Amino acid sequence: MFDVVEMPMDWPAEVNYHEAKAFCAWKGSDYRLPTEAEHHVMRGPQVSQCLAQVIEFKICPPSPGGGGVI
């Protein structure tokens, strides 16, 4: 029923903020998490349009990662 499956090192992993911050600290001073401002720039203008619609309880345009109705 339970098998041990080797996880390739290039697979994505789901981690929380604290785990990601600890990993950056472990990697060294050259690594850090993006700031909130940097994160918004990376997400692009679609998100700001979507956030404006959330206030009015409208539907956001679908994103590559899924989503839609908020």
- The residue with greater pLDDT, 3 or 62, is 3
Task: Report d(CA 48, CA 42) in Å as an integer.
Answer: 12
Q: What is the pLDDT of residue 54?
A: 56
Whole-model pTM: value is 0.48
pLDDT digits over 40-70, tens only? Answer: 777 776 655 666 555 555 445 555 555 444 4
pLDDT of residue 42: 78
Q: Read off the pLDDT of residues 18-31 as tens digits, 9 standing for 90 and up.
A: 999 999 999 998 99
Say if residues 67 and 53 touch (Cβ distance below 8 Å). Answer: no
